[in-house]
Amino acid sequence: MIRPIAILVGLGFSIVVLLSFVTGAYTWATEEVQPAAEYEFHLAPHGPEGGFAHDGPFGTWDVAQLQRGYQVYKEVCAACHSLKYVAFRDLAGLGYDEGQIKAEAASYQVPGIDPNTGEATFRPGLPTDYFPSPYPNAVAAAAANNNAIPPDLSLMTKARHHGPEYVYSLLTGYGPIPAELEQEFPEFETPTGLYFNRYFPNLNLAMAPPLTTDGQVSYAEGNPAPTIRQMSADVAAFLTWTAEPKMVERRQTGWPVLGFLIFATILAFLAKKQVWSNATPGRKDD
């Protein structure tokens, strides 16, 4: 009697876990982004035409795109936004060799201590250092940005629903207030110091458009033309990598593991059939 009860309990637990997984996966795949603003003109984020190379269960990193995205971050975004959870040595994941990483690190000034006086100072970065903040503290950051502290971008694509698409849409979503919005909501306005963006929940964003003209960042020969949309897609891909640098490796590991679990389940089922094939009919457990 004990064995059937244990089997039923285990089966019930397995069914509950499976239903929870299926329900969560379905919700994640089909859930619509709910606008946080009262205006219906807020748009759901979307990715570039053709999507990102890392999309889907079989996606891979486009290393050339990640390097372009890092260039966009370094030349444009780094003026206001930090990457405090990314170390210079992590750039090895973008295909940079040891010498290039050392040169990149040395091009930044990071906080240090003067060994002679013990006073705070700045020194060239080392591969083991993390990307420094462009501001010494939050007060200075707010003072330089109309009282809005620029967020750290290390985990931005994980902190936002459909993160890569959100970053791409936000960078390409600046523009004038649509006439239909002004007509339906005459009271709507963009205050001084804010900028209209249809992909930001309340439509008004404190960040000025960081990418304003095509060719703002000069790509090396052989790369796509640096249009605003291309640069936005590249930096969105780079920020996806900073948030989940092992995402592709995790997926690639997951498929063999899943195959092994399926194989092991089949073996366990066949072993169970073999073990119980000669059981005496009608036998009762003690």
Contact at 8 Å (CB) between 126 and 87?
no
Q: Within 10 A of 144 (CB to CB), how many other CB atoms are there?
A: 15
DSSP SS3 for 22 = helix
From the list 174, 178, 179, the residue with the least C-alpha distance to 197 is 174
Q: Within 10 A of 123 (CB to CB), how many other CB atoms are there?
A: 14
Contact at 8 Å (CB) between 240 and 157?
yes
- The answer on whether 156 is annotated among ligand-binding residues is no
- The answer on whether 1 is annotated among ligand-binding residues is no
- The answer on whether 162 is annotated among ligand-binding residues is no
**Largest Cα span, the chain:** 88
Q: Within 10 A of 260 (CB to CB), how many other CB atoms are there?
A: 10
Q: 121 phi and psi, to 5 degrees?
A: -150, -170
Contact at 8 Å (CB) between 157 and 239?
yes
CA-CA distance, 181 to 43, in Å (whole number)?
13
The helix (run of H) or strand (run of E) holding residue 112 is: strand 109-113
C-alpha torsion sign, points 162, 166, 101, 64: positive
CA-CA distance, 281 to 284, in Å (whole number)?
9
Q: Which residue has tokens 């462009």? A: 134
The binding site comprises: 77, 80-81, 207
The binding site for heme c comprises: 77, 80-81, 207
